[in-house]
Amino acid sequence: MTLETALFWTSRLVLLSLLVQTLEFIWTNRSWSDEGIWKFTTLKSELATIFPIGKIGIRLLFSAVSIQVLLALRILIIAHAFIQPNAISFLLLLFSHLILCWRYRGTYNGGSDMITLMTLLGLSISYSFTDLKSMRAFGLFFIAVHSMSSYFLSGLYKLKQESWRDGTALTIFTKKNWPQPLMKILSWGVLCFEVGSPLSLLNLNLTYAFITLAFFFHALNAAFLGLTRFLWAWAATWPAILFVTTYLSI
């Protein structure tokens, strides 16, 4: 996959992911409104401790009205970046992503917020250096390294656990009473997929096989555990992995 094709797909997929996230925030607007759990009045003193930008600054960034405006602007920026991806759009999206995460005291959905931030950082680098091919490639490497390490390290940590090796962890997480031998096989399937993920960088066929498996892996996670944002967020990193494999095989 060429640098430009990888940038095209990474940017479009992350924009799609951000659009879904934005619409979900609008759908659940009650949670961050002045009537909801994460109401501004409850959070403002803590936010003021973390960000020394004055009361007006805190209100401008984090009040319910500001979040409403931010989400509306985000849709416009996403639409603009979809047609014409550029550094300013990705930096603005990165900033808005941080504001939303901080509004929920760090992250909203954990891992998916983290990988989205890494993707936006990588794209901001790539699109900031339109004339410098090495830096454009660096941005994609940044995304691919994070994506790969997320699979590999997650698998490695699981592998250390007896409950993952014997399949009981999967039974508990999925809340399925399937036969233990089957759970053990499925469990080892997850472990092999995650720990073996760096091998997919050896050639393009392996990368395509890895991405196919990754798609089903995330789709099952979405279906069984409700991790829907993870599917979108990680899908945006796959073109960067394809680019890195192509780059390494030249």
Scanning 75-83, 84-92, 110-118, 203-211 for contacts with other proteins by CB under 8 A, the matching segment is 110-118
Instruction: Please give the structure tokens belonging to residue 210.
Output: 């890895």
Nearer to other proteins by Cβ, of 135 and 213: the residue is 135
Q: How far apart, in Å, are the Cα atoms of 146 and each of 6, 68, 153, 240?
A: 16, 31, 10, 10
Q: Scanning residues 142 to 181, which ones bind other proteins (CB under 8 A)?
A: 142, 146, 149-151, 153-154, 157-158, 161, 163-164, 168-169, 172-173
The residue from 182, 185, 223, 248 that contacts other proteins (CB under 8 A) is 223
Closest CA to 211 of 237, 187, 230, 189: 237
Q: Scanning residues 229 to 248, which ones bind other proteins (CB under 8 A)?
A: 229, 231-232
Reduced to 3 states (helix: H, G, I; strand: E, B; else coil), residue 1 is: coil
Q: Scanning residues 16 to 55, which ones bind other proteins (CB under 8 A)?
A: 20, 23-25, 27-28, 31, 36-39, 42-43, 45-46, 49-50
Binding map of other proteins across residues 118-147, x = CB under 8 A, - = no contact:
x------x---------x------x---x-
Hey, CA dihedral for 13, 16, 22, 24, is it positive or negative? negative
93 alpha carbon, distance to own chain's centre: 13
Nearer to other proteins by Cβ, of 36 and 204: the residue is 36
Closest CA to 240 of 187, 194, 200: 200
Instruction: Give the binding-site size for other proteins (rule: CB under 8 A).
Output: 61
CA distance 74 to 53: 23
**Is 72 near other proteins (CB under 8 A)?**
no
Closest CA to 237 of 142, 109, 104, 132: 142
Strands (E), the chain: none
Residues in contact with other proteins by the rule CB under 8 A? 20, 23-25, 27-28, 31, 36-39, 42-43, 45-46, 49-50, 98, 101-102, 104-111, 113-115, 117-118, 125, 135, 142, 146, 149-151, 153-154, 157-158, 161, 163-164, 168-169, 172-173, 219, 222-226, 228-229, 231-232
